[in-house]
Amino acid sequence: MEYVALGNTGLEVSIAGLGAGGYSALGLRRGKTEAEAAGLVCDAFDLGVTLFDTAAAYPTESVVGKAVRPFRDQVVLSTKGHAVEGESLRTSRELEEQVYASLRMLETEWIDVYLLHAVAADDYDRVRACALPVLDRLRHAGVIRAIGITEAYDSDPAHAMIRKAASDDAWDVLMAGYNLANQGVRPIVPEGRTFGMIGMCAVRDPDRLRDSVSSSLGDLVDTGEPDELTDLAYRFARSATFIDTVVFGTSDRDHLVANIRSLTLPALGSSLLARLEEDAGAAPQ
């Protein structure tokens, strides 16, 4: 496993991070027990993972918190909370209560990275104005170490919110989707960025990913360079120099091991990377 600085946060993270949401939620959404889900967290730590990402909206905050308790000071805990509920913006008090609720669920004294969850582009300005002062106050109180924001990837494939956040100096960390089929965030992230960058959705649905890429890319996968689309997709995401760490979800140990293996293999060569960038193309701007 390799470890890198998460922007200028002062936090060091593994290049592969374990996400506790998505379709699986560490297997809880597929019939796994909390003990089995916690076992995956411990297995990931044993394999070198030090970034664990969850959210108030997932059923996994308490699982992750309990699992990392024996090695809490060796990991970076990231969690998320919504600033908008329906059409209404949460009040400052509600936002603060939400952070403390996550603190209790995680059974920790501090949250390393607190992210505003799935913020829509149209909500960006009002969310920033209301939520940022609250989170900044909690950071100064030592409750939060770094403040971030995530896009609503499925409903914002052109990364309109990230475009706003990346040009702002308000955030310590951004989380955005980046994969073979949607490379649109690449030209948005400025060179010399100071914020940390977490990549997500590198492989959310391999079948859908295969359907969305060009025929020439399909030929490349079929020839065995590398031999699996999932492996290629993770290595592609990891090869992005503007991303510090890539988070992925899983529900079983074999899948966990395979994903970590893909993310820790050497970066793709420049010629292969150029072909993948050309074939798949960027999302519409």
Residues annotated as catalytic are 58
- Taking only Cα atoms into account, the Rg of the chain, rounded to an integer number of angstroms, comes to 18
Distances (CA, A) of 43 to 36, 38, 66, 68: 10, 9, 14, 11
Q: Are 116 and 131 contacting, i.e. CB atoms less than 8 angstroms apart?
A: yes
- The string of DSSP letters for 149-209 reads EEE-GGG-TT-HHHHHHHTSS--SEEEEE--SS--TTTTTSPTT--SEEEEE-SSS-HHHH
Distances (CA, A) of 276 to 105, 214, 228, 236, 237: 41, 10, 14, 8, 11
The residues, any chain, with a CB within 8 Å of residue 190's CB and separated by 6 or more, are 166, 167
Measure CA 12 to chain center: 15
Coarse DSSP helix, strand, coil percentages of the chain, rounded to the nearest 5 percent? 45, 20, 40
- Residue 158: which of 105, 117, 120, 132 has the closest Cα? 120
The whole-angstrom separation of Cα 243 and Cα 113 is: 16
How buried is 211 (Cβ within 10 angstroms: 0-12 exposed, 13-18 middle, 19+ buried)?
exposed
